[in-house]
Structure formats: structure tokens, C-alpha cells
């Protein structure tokens, strides 16, 4: 049975997919077999396969265990907005229990690790009662926090870490993902977070300006140290 790692971020566009894919690459280099999930994706486009999401396709490509797209991204929504709003626009209602069941089916795969990428931040709503964080809680999954390094990230990172711990889940690690090569006081911000976040820093991924998506993923993987993860 695959061990889950849930990837969350300080905000939308913090770089969850880049880091999730880089983790898949780093785990494979360490000899681990992997599968990957993006259970809920908003912002999907019609293709011959049906609705597909760019981030989910990258996860699918980077995992060592081949899964059909419908398993990687079981809930594909058209509108690029909060999942519960995108679902309502299609006359659908998202439920944690259904998403959990799909995830548990994939976790039965003969893989060592399953990377599960969230949507938006930790508390993104799925309906009027449930949050996507409830999925991670129900799966009892360790969490990796992607900190998008930009103005405001200190507050976002600390609040997210507090929420994860309050939900009773271990924060397995965090990654500083540099979004702006010219961010003022970048090192000072990273050094501020290191003693305050109750988890090891798995790496600082530099701003990668050029290359294909897969080139950027390979570069990001080189910046990670996954030795402290509970799946190793």
C-alpha cells in the first residue's frame, strides 16, 4: 500500500505542482516507486480524453506507476476558480467522502509513495461544511508545505503550519519555492522561517527562468533533500 504525502501551499500559485513533480523525481532517484493524484482540479480544458488539467498531466507523467488520467484527476472542473464555485457552475456538489474513496483506491496500488496535490491553500472549501484539508485528515496523511517566496509569505506559512498541526497531522517538511528572482531580503525570509516552522526545510528551489516544464521539474528536484521524509 502506498504511503501518502499531501502537498499544500501557502496560496494559489505557490508552486505546488512544480514541487510535487520534483518530489516524484527525487523519490524515483532514491529508488522509490510512486503514484500521484490531483483529486480536484479546477481549470480544465476539453481534449480527446475528456477534460484534462495541465498540472494533473504533469503529475501523471512524473510518477513511476502509470495510472489512467481518470484516477489521477477524478474531479475535473472547467472554470479556473475555487473548486466549490466551479462545481456549482456545473450543477455538481463536491463531497469529501467520495474523494476519499477514490484516493483510498489508488493508495492500494503497489507503489511506495503516493503524492497527493491539493488545490489552492489548506482551507479551500469543497462545500458549505467541508474543506479539502478534511481529505488529508481522513487519509491521516503527512503534509508538505510549499511556501511561495513573496511578500506576505511569512504570515501565510506560519498560519498554514498552525492549521495543519491543529488538524492533528504531522508537517513532514516544507519547501521554499522562489517565485521572484528579485524578491527583497529572500535569504532573511527563509532564515526567519527555518526556526519557526516545526518541520525540516527540504530545500530552496531557485527561480527557474528558462526551459520546458520537465526541465524546470528536473532542476527543482536537484534542490531537494528528501532524506528526512517519513517515507524514506
3-state DSSP assignment of residue 200: coil
Residue 38 among the catalytic residues? yes
Q: What is the pLDDT of residue 184?
A: 95
Question: What mean pLDDT is predicted for residues 141-150?
Answer: 98
Q: Kindly report the CATH number assigned to the domain that includes residue 134.
A: 3.40.50.300
Domain membership flag for residue 112: yes
Q: Which of 38, 110, 137, 216 is catalytic?
A: 38
Question: What mean pLDDT is predicted for residues 159-169?
Answer: 98
Can you say whether the dihedral through the CA atoms of 48, 51, 55, 57 is positive or negative? Answer: negative
Domain membership flag for residue 230: no
Q: What is the pLDDT of residue 181?
A: 87
Domain membership flag for residue 173: yes
Q: How many CA atoms lie within 13 A of 134 on its CB side?
A: 16
Q: Which residues are within 8 A (CB) of 114 and not within 5 positions of it... i.e. 6 or more apart?
A: 2, 3, 4, 5, 34, 35, 36, 37, 106, 107
Domain membership flag for residue 50: yes
Closest by CA to 221, choosing from 200, 199, 206, is 206
Domain membership flag for residue 227: no
Strands 3-9 and 143-149: parallel
* CB count in 10 Å sphere of residue 195: 7
Q: Is the pLDDT of residue 16 over 90?
A: yes
Total domains, the chain: 1
What's phi and psi for 198, nearest 5 deg? -85, 55
Please write the tens of the pLDDT for every residue from 179-190.
998 999 999 999
Say if residues 174 and 157 touch (Cβ distance below 8 Å). Answer: yes
Domain membership flag for residue 116: yes
* Confidence at 6, pLDDT banded by 50, 70, 90: very high
Please write the tens of the pLDDT for every residue from 25-47.
999 999 999 999 999 999 999 99
Please write the tens of the pLDDT for every residue from 71-112.
999 999 999 999 999 999 999 999 999 999 999 999 998 999
All three cell numbers of 120? 489552492
Structural domain that includes position 109? 3-222
Say if residues 14 and 148 touch (Cβ distance below 8 Å). Answer: yes
Q: Is the pLDDT of residue 4 over 90?
A: yes
Domain membership flag for residue 29: yes
- How far apart are the C-alpha atoms of 168 and 180, rounded to whole Å? 33
Q: Is the pLDDT of residue 165 over 90?
A: yes
Domain membership flag for residue 232: no
Separation of CA 121 from chain center: 9
Q: What is the pLDDT of residue 13?
A: 94
Residue owning grid cell 469543497: 126
What's phi and psi for 108, nearest 5 deg? -75, -5
Q: Is the pLDDT of residue 50 over 90?
A: yes
Q: What is the pLDDT of residue 216?
A: 98
Q: pTM for this structure?
A: 0.98
Q: What is the pLDDT of residue 117?
A: 98
* Confidence at 49, pLDDT banded by 50, 70, 90: confident
Closest by CA to 153, choosing from 181, 177, 130, is 177
Please write the tens of the pLDDT for every residue from 193-207.
999 999 999 999 999
Q: Rounded mean pLDDT of the chain?
A: 97
Amino acid at each position: 500500500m502506498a504511503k501518502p504525502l499531501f502537498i499544500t501551499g501557502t496560496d494559489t500559485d505557490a508552486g505546488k505542482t512544480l514541487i510535487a513533480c520534483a518530489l516524484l523525481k527525487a523519490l524515483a532517484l532514491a529508488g522509490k516507486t510512486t503514484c500521484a493524484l490531483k483529486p480536484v482540479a479546477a481549470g480544465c480544458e476539453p481534449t480527446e480524453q475528456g477534460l484534462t488539467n495541465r498540472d494533473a498531466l504533469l503529475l501523471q507523467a512524473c510518477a513511476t506507476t502509470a495510472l489512467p488520467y481518470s484516477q489521477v484527476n477524478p474531479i475535473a472542473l472547467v472554470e479556473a476558480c475555487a473548486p466549490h464555485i466551479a462545481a456549482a457552475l456545473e450543477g455538481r456538489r463536491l463531497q469529501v467522502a467520495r474523494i476519499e474513496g477514490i484516493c483510498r483506491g489508488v493508495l492500494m496500488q503497489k507503489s511506495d509513495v503516493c503524492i497527493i496535490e491539493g488545490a489552492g491553500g489548506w482551507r479551500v472549501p469543497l462545500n458549505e461544511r467541508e474543506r479539502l484539508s478534511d481529505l488529508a485528515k481522513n487519509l491521516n496523511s503527512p503534509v508538505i508545505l510549499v511556501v511561495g517566496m513573496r511578500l506576505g509569505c511569512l504570515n501565510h506559512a506560519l498560519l498554514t503550519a498552525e492549521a495543519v498541526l491543529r488538524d492533528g497531522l504531522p508537517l513532514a517538511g516544507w519547501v521554499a519555492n522562489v517565485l521572484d528572482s528579485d524578491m527583497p531580503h529572500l535569504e532573511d525570509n527563509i532564515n526567519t522561517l527555518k526556526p519557526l516552522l516545526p518541520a525540516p526545510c527540504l530545500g530552496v528551489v531557485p527561480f527557474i527562468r528558462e526551459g520546458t516544464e520537465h526541465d524546470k521539474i528536473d532542476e527543482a528536484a536537484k534542490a531537494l533533500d528528501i532524506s528526512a521524509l517519513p517515507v524514506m
